[in-house]
Structure 1
Amino acid sequence: MKYIILLLFIFIGSQSFSQEAGFQSTGFEDEVKNEVKVYPNPCKNDKVTIEFSSKEISEVRLTNIAGQQVLLKKYDFPLPKIQLRLNEVPNGIYLLQITTTDNKPTVKKLMISRN
């Protein structure tokens, strides 16, 4: 029962987070989601890779489910593929906001689970 409530909370929280942050729904949302790869997810070690197939990443922001910013990385020279070190980030569920060079944000869920 706890897991069902947690999943509902995550789903509702991610929807309200994207609306509060000013993200607008477009017809190309499914295309963008297919372009972005975040792996491994869940992250069991201290590294996660983010890869865009057709755009370059200029900023990555990691936010916990309470809405607190945990990590912010800005790239002066945008890259299509980056690897984040998450040594200082505790286990939990996070929202990963990826901004590309055309200032279009994409939000993905990321779970960190080191056992």
Structure 2
Amino acid sequence: MSKNKETIQKYMDSFQESDHEKILSCLTEDVIWEMPGVYLHHGKEEFDKEIENENFTGKPKITIFRMTEENNVVIAEGNVIGSFKNGDVLNADFCDVFELENGLVKKLVSYLMQKTN
């Protein structure tokens, strides 16, 4: 596994454990996290606030189906299941596009599609 893919695997594993310190260690200081049409976060401080979104409870279950890499871009496709505080369940497939610099995530664009069944 390449250094970039190792960073993304560490990021995903840490996100599943809600381990802020490990997640943030995978990022550049000026990281950008965008979910088109939903939010755009700049820097580690804003990123950190989204790790445990106030609408959710517990830790998410993340399954990676595939990681593809070209140059300093890693695309991770997978599924995330999480519990909303109101009792609803998030069951969504995602495609995360990570741009890396020196083995750290510089930009993340997340695309999410909730399953209806």
- State the TM-score, normalized to the length of structure 2: 0.32
Q: Which has the higher strand share?
A: 2
